[in-house]
C-alpha cells in the first residue's frame, strides 16, 4: 500500500488507533488483520509509524516493532522519546542488553525524564538485581515523587535488600498516592516481614475491601496465623470470591488460601482439593528442567580434580553460613536460630551465588553446554569480594551472616572454592513432609512445585546432588541437621546448630522466636513461634493422596513411614536401585 499524502496518513492513523484498542480489548483477530494490511506502509510520518510500532507490540510482534522504531529514529532523530519504545520492543524480544542501551541513550538525551529510569529499574528488578533496581527506581521517584508507578517494585526491591524501614515509608506514600489493592497489599507485606502482624492483617483486609477479587491478599492473610472455627464467616467470603470470573492466577491464590485455612481446621480432603486446584490453574505446560541441565555440566566444572586443583585459592573469610536443602525443609528456622545469636545476622535468600555462577560459566547456566574456561585464583577472589559486599548489606559487623537460599545445594562446589572456610549447613526434613509442603505453597519461582510427580523427581535429584558433594568435597565441609530432631528435641539440637555456624553457645538462642529481625519468606509466621512439632508427620493426614509420590521416593523413606502407608492400604513398589549420579535421567527435554 502506498501512503504518502497527509489525507492517507490521517486515515491510517485512524485505522491503527482502532486496531490498538481492539488488541487491548482482546479482539486480536481484527487487530491482526489491520496490522497485516498496514505493516509495510511507506509513510514517513512519525506518528503513523509510532502507532504501527505500538500495534506490533500489543500483538506480540516485538521484532517487527524493533525495526519500526529504529526506522522512526533514523527518519526523525530529534524525537528521542522513541528510544523508550525501542527499549520495550527489545525487552519483549528477549534482547535485554539492547533494551538497557536504548534506555541509557534516552537518559543521556533527557536526564530529567523519570520514565527511562523507571523502566531500567523494572528490568533490573525482574532480573533479580535489586541493588541496581533500587538505584534506578529511586531516581525515578526523586524526579517525579507523585507518580506512583515505580513505587511498587521499589518497595519490594528494598525489602529484598533488608531495607525495610525505607520500604515501609515508600509503601505508605504509595498508598497515599493510590490506595488500591496492590499498594495496600504491598504495604501489608512490608508490615508482615517486619513482624507487625496486626498492621499487616489490617492492610490485607483493606486490600480486599478495595478489590474483593485480589487473590494474593487472601493468600497472605491465610499465612498470618492459624485459622479456627471462629473464622468461618471469612472463610465463606473467601470461597464466595471464586464465584466470580477471575483470572487463573487470582483463582489460584484464593485456592491456596482456602487450602491453608481448611488445613488449619483439619478438613484434610477439602484442603487437598483446594491445593490441587491452586496448582493446576497455574501449572506450566511442561516440567522445568533447568536444574537437571545445569548440574549435568556442573559436575564437569566442579569435578573432584578441578576442586582439588583450586583448593585454598578463595577467600579466607569465615563470615558466610550457607543453609541449603529442599524448599520447605526448614531453612528459615535454621536462619532464625543462628540470627538470634548476638554475633550473627540473617541475609535471607540471596541470588548472588547463582549470579556469580552465571557470570563464570554462562554456557552451563544459559545454554546447557559445558563451558571450558578454567577458573583461576583471581576469579575466585574477585567474585568472593562481590559476594561479601552483598552479604554485608545484612550486617557490617556480624561474625556470621546466614544465606539461606535453598537452591544453593546445586552450587556447593563453587561455594567451597569461593569460601573454603565457610560453614555449610544442610537441613533435612521428612521426605514426604518436605514434598507435600512444596505442593502446598503458592510458589511462583519454584517450577517443580505444581505437580507431585515433578516434586518426587526433583527430590530424588536433590538427594543425589547432595551425595555427590559429600563425595567430592573435603570431609566435614557439610554439616547435616535433621529438622524433625530439631523440633522434637530443641534443647539438644539447637546448640548443635549454633556450633555448626562456628559460634559460642548462648542460652538465649533457645528463645530464637523472640528475634524481631525481618523475615521475607513464606515461613514468616512459623519462624516467630516457639518450636512446635505439628509440622512433623503432617503428611499422615494426606496419606491416601500420596501413593505415587511415596512410591517414587521410596528409597528415602524410613520403615516407620513405609509401615504407616501399608496400614493405610497404600502399596509401594520395591525401592529403586541407588546408583551413581550419572545414572539420573531427567525428564525428556521438550522441543
* pLDDT, position 532: 55
**Exposure string (b/e) for 542-574, b if CB count within 10 Å is 16 or more?**
bbebbbebbbbbbebbeeebeebbeeeebebee
For 327, the grid coordinates are: 524448599
Hey, how many other C-beta atoms are within 10 angstroms of the C-beta on 505? 10
* pLDDT, position 366: 46
* pLDDT, position 239: 96
* pLDDT, position 529: 52
Q: Which among 98, 162, 160 has a CA at the least distance from the CA of 126?
A: 160
Say how far apart CA 437 and CA 443 lie, in whole Å.
11
DSSP assignment letter at 124: H
Mean pLDDT of the chain: 88
Interval 294-330: pLDDT, tens? 998 889 889 999 888 888 789 999 999 999 999 999 9
Specify the DSSP element, H or E, that contains 436.
helix 431-439
Percent of the chain with pLDDT over 90: 68
- Asked if 418 and 383 touch (Cβ cutoff 8 Å), the reply is yes
* pLDDT, position 2: 43
For 79, the grid coordinates are: 524525537
Say how far apart CA 472 and CA 311 lie, in whole Å.
12
Percent of the chain with pLDDT over 70: 89
Q: What is the mean pLDDT of residues 103-113?
A: 95
Task: Label residue 569 left, alpha or beta by phi (over 0 means left) and psi (-120 to 50 means alpha).
Answer: left
Q: What is the mean pLDDT of residues 487-515?
A: 89
* pLDDT, position 3: 43
* pLDDT, position 262: 97
Q: How many CA within 13 A on the CB side of residue 476?
A: 4
Q: Which of 123-132, 394-403, 581-590 has the lowest mean pLDDT?
A: 581-590
Say how far apart CA 99 and CA 91 lie, in whole Å.
5
Residue 425 sits at φ, ψ, to 5 deg, of -110, 120
**Exposure string (b/e) for 55-79, b if CB count within 10 Å is 16 or more?**
bbbbbebbebbbebbebbbeebeee
Q: Which of 109-123, 205-219, 567-581 has the lowest mean pLDDT?
A: 567-581
- Asked if 255 and 441 touch (Cβ cutoff 8 Å), the reply is no
The 3 state secondary structure assigned to 256-282 is HHHHHHHHHHCCHHHHHHHHHHHHHHC
Interval 402-411: pLDDT, tens? 999 999 999 9
pTM: 0.83
* pLDDT, position 516: 54
Instruction: List Cα–Cα distances, 211 to 156, 184, 204, 282, in angstroms.
Output: 21, 10, 10, 21
* pLDDT, position 394: 86
Specify the DSSP element, H or E, that contains 323.
strand 320-324
* pLDDT, position 76: 92
Fold of 290-534: Rossmann fold (3.40.50)
The answer, yes or no, to whether residue 179 has pLDDT greater than 70, is yes
For 9, the grid coordinates are: 496518513
Instruction: List Cα–Cα distances, 138 to 160, 172, 177, 378, 397, in angstroms.
Output: 15, 15, 16, 34, 27
* pLDDT, position 581: 37
Interval 405-454: pLDDT, tens? 999 999 999 999 999 999 999 999 999 999 999 999 998 777 899 999 99
Q: Which among 398, 427, 240 has a CA at the least distance from the CA of 320?
A: 398
* pLDDT, position 580: 34
| One-character DSSP codes across 390-404 | HHTTS-SS-SEEEE-
Instruction: List Cα–Cα distances, 88 to 12, 69, 116, 357, in angstroms.
Output: 23, 10, 10, 28
Interval 510-561: pLDDT, tens? 887 765 545 555 545 454 455 655 668 999 999 999 999 999 999 999 999 9
For 57, the grid coordinates are: 507490540
* pLDDT, position 102: 94
Say how far apart CA 331 and CA 427 lie, in whole Å.
7
Say how far apart CA 342 and CA 503 lie, in whole Å.
10
The answer, yes or no, to whether residue 204 has pLDDT greater than 60, is yes
| One-character DSSP codes across 462-486 | HHHHHHHHHHHSPTTSEEEEEHHHH
Which of 493 and 128 is assigned the larger pLDDT? 493
Find which of 33-37, 38-42, 423-427 is predicted with most confidence, using mean pLDDT.
423-427
Report, in angstroms and rounded to the nearest whole number, the Rg of the chain calculated over CA atoms: 26
Interval 326-371: pLDDT, tens? 999 999 999 999 999 999 999 988 889 998 988 887 765 544 444 4
* pLDDT, position 171: 98
* pLDDT, position 572: 85
Reported as a pLDDT band with limits 50, 70 and 90, residue 156 is very high
Say how far apart CA 41 and CA 26 lie, in whole Å.
24
Amino acid at each position: 500500500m502506498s501512503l504518502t499524502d497527509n489525507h492517507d496518513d490521517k486515515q491510517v492513523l485512524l485505522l491503527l488507533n482502532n486496531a490498538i484498542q481492539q488488541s487491548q480489548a482482546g479482539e486480536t483477530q481484527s487487530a491482526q488483520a489491520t496490522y497485516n494490511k498496514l505493516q509495510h506502509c511507506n509513510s514517513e510520518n512519525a506518528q503513523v509509524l509510532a502507532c504501527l510500532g505500538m500495534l506490533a507490540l500489543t500483538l506480540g510482534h516485538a521484532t517487527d516493532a524493533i525495526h519500526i522504531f529504529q526506522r522512526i529514529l533514523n527518519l526523525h532523530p530529534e524525537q528521542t522519546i522513541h528510544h523508550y519504545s525501542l527499549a520495550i520492543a527489545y525487552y519483549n524480544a528477549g534482547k535485554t542488553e539492547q533494551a538497557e542501551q536504548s534506555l541509557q541513550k534516552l537518559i543521556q538525551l533527557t536526564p530529567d525524564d523519570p520514565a527511562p529510569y523507571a523502566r531500567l529499574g523494572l528490568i533490573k528488578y525482574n532480573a533479580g538485581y535489586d541493588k541496581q533496581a533500587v538505584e534506578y527506581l529511586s531516581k525515578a521517584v526523586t524526579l517525579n515523587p507523585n507518580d506512583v508507578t515505580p513505587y511498587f517494585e521499589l518497595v519490594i526491591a528494598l525489602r529484598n535488600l533488608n531495607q525495610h524501614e525505607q520500604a515501609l515509608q515508600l509503601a505508605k506514600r504509595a498508598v497515599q498516592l493510590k490506595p488500591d489493592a496492590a499498594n495496600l497489599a504491598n504495604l501489608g507485606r512490608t508490615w508482615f516481614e517486619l513482624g507487625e502482624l496486626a498492621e499487616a492483617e489490617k492492610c490485607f483486609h483493606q486490600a480486599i475491601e478495595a478489590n474483593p477479587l485480589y487473590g494474593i491478599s487472601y493468600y497472605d492473610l491465610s499465612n498470618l496465623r492459624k485459622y479456627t472455627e471462629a473464622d468461618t464467616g471469612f472463610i465463606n467470603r473467601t470461597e464466595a470470591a471464586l464465584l466470580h470470573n477471575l483470572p487463573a492466577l487470582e483463582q489460584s491464590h484464593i485456592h491456596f488460601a482456602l487450602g491453608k485455612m481448611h488445613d488449619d481446621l483439619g478438613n484434610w480432603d477439602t484442603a487437598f482439593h483446594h491445593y490441587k486446584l491452586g496448582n493446576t490453574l497455574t501449572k506450566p505446560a511442561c516440567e522445568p528442567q533447568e536444574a537437571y541441565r545445569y548440574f549435568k555440566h556442573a559436575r564437569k566444572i566442579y569435578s573432584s580434580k578441578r576442586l582439588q586443583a583450586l583448593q585454598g585459592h578463595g577467600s579466607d573469610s569465615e563470615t558466610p553460613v550457607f543453609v541449603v536443602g529442599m524448599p520447605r525443609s526448614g531453612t528459615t528456622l535454621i536462619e532464625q536460630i543462628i540470627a538470634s545469636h548476638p554475633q550473627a545476622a540473617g541475609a535471607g535468600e540471596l541470588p548472588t551465588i547463582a549470579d556469580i555462577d552465571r557470570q563464570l560459566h554462562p554456557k552451563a547456566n544459559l545454554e546447557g553446554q559445558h563451558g571450558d574456561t578454567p577458573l583461576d585464583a583471581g576469579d575466585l577472589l574477585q567474585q568472593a569480594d562481590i559476594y561479601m559486599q552483598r552479604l554485608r548489606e545484612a550486617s557490617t559487623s556480624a561474625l556470621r551472616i546466614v544465606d539461606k537460599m535453598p537452591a544453593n545445594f546445586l552450587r556447593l562446589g563453587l561455594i567451597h572454592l569461593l569460601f573454603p572456610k565457610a560453614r555449610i549447613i544442610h537441613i533435612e526434613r521428612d521426605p514426604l513432609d518436605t514434598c507435600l509442603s512444596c505442593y502446598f505453597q503458592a510458589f511462583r519461582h519454584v517450577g517443580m512445585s505444581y505437580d507431585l510427580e515433578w516434586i518426587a523427581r526433583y527430590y530424588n535429584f536433590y538427594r543425589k546432588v547432595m551425595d555427590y558433594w559429600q563425595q567430592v568435597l573435603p570431609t566435614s565441609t557439610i554439616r547435616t541437621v535433621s529438622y524433625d530432631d530439631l523440633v522434637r528435641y530443641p534443647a539438644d539440637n539447637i546448640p548443635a546448630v549454633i556450633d555448626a555456624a562456628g559460634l559460642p553457645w548462648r542460652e538465649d538462642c533457645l528463645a530464637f522466636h523472640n528475634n524481631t529481625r525481618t523475615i521475607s519468606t513464606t515461613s514468616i509466621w512459623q519462624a516467630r513461634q516457639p518450636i512446635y512439632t505439628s509440622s512433623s508427620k503432617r503428611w499422615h493426614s494426606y496419606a491416601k493422596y500420596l501413593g505415587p509420590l511415596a512410591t517414587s521416593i521410596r528409597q528415602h523413606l524410613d520403615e516407620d513411614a513405609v509401615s504407616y502407608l501399608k496400614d493405610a492400604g497404600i502399596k509401594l513398589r520395591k525401592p529403586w536401585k541407588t546408583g551413581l549420579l550419572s545414572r539420573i535421567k531427567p525428564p525428556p527435554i521438550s522441543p
